[in-house]
Amino acid sequence: MGTAAVFPDLPDDVAARIGRSMESARSDGTRRAYESAWRRFEHRCTAHDHSSLPAHPATVAAYLVAAADTLTSRNNLRAFRLLRS
């Protein structure tokens, strides 16, 4: 099994530019949807004693199958589609 990549030592100005770029890349609503989806994924991983990072592809697939079972409204479908974009 591989290990997670170590974050490189970057100059402060480069790290700040990356942060600004990431902040402006998505709307607040999209970021909230991603954060919510990530919390759900981490919760499921913890509940099933799986690692969220790095996640095995089977762990991701199991989460997506379970998430698909919860799709009962257009809003949930929209949130699920945001995960794929």
Provide the 10 A C-beta neighbour count for residue 27: 9
**pLDDT value at residue 72:** 63
pTM more than 0.85: no
Residue listed under structure tokens 């890349």: 25
Mean pLDDT of 45-54: 93
Lowest-confidence pick of 19-23, 52-56, 76-80: 76-80
Q: Can you tell me the distance from the alpha carbon of 79 to that of 50, in angstroms, rounded to the nearest whole number? A: 23
**pLDDT value at residue 56:** 95
End-to-end CA separation in angstroms for the chain = 27
